Amino acid sequence: MYEKDIRNDEEMKKLLIEKAIEKLPNSYAPYSRYNVAAAALFDSGNIYTGVNVESASLGMTICAERNAIFHAVAEGERRLLAVAIVGGADGDRREYCVPCGACRQVMRDFGDKDSMIVISAKSSDDYMENTLDEMLPYSFGPESL
């Protein structure tokens, strides 16, 4: 079990970013040429990675963040603590890559809005982080049902 407060665990943040960077070359984005990779930490302590995978039928494309989270859920995970995201045009990490609205909503389904963090990184030394609530204020989550 991961028992630290992710907001204060710089080593884990750097590890998540490095794992995402490691997977970035596996992104499949021949249409947009915007490559993205993500690493998601769950309360088990397990880290799951994902990349964006595009389809010629663009609506069938999946983002890296959802790819990582859905893989984790398929493995039995339910409590998301953090997601690190890297990416950019042709895989160039010049800017921070932030999650789209659909990914933010999926994060909300599995992460606590006040403590889960989203890390957008250029490198393991150059990143910004936000709580999920900062990225998706006034959100609709499982407790809303």
Phi, psi of 80, deg, nearest 5: -85, 130
Q: Would you name the residues annotated as active-site residues?
A: 65
Q: Integer distance in angstroms from the first to the last C-alpha of the chain?
A: 28
- Sign of the dihedral defined by the CA atoms of residues 76, 128, 37, 62, in that order: positive
At 129, list the tokens: 């982080």
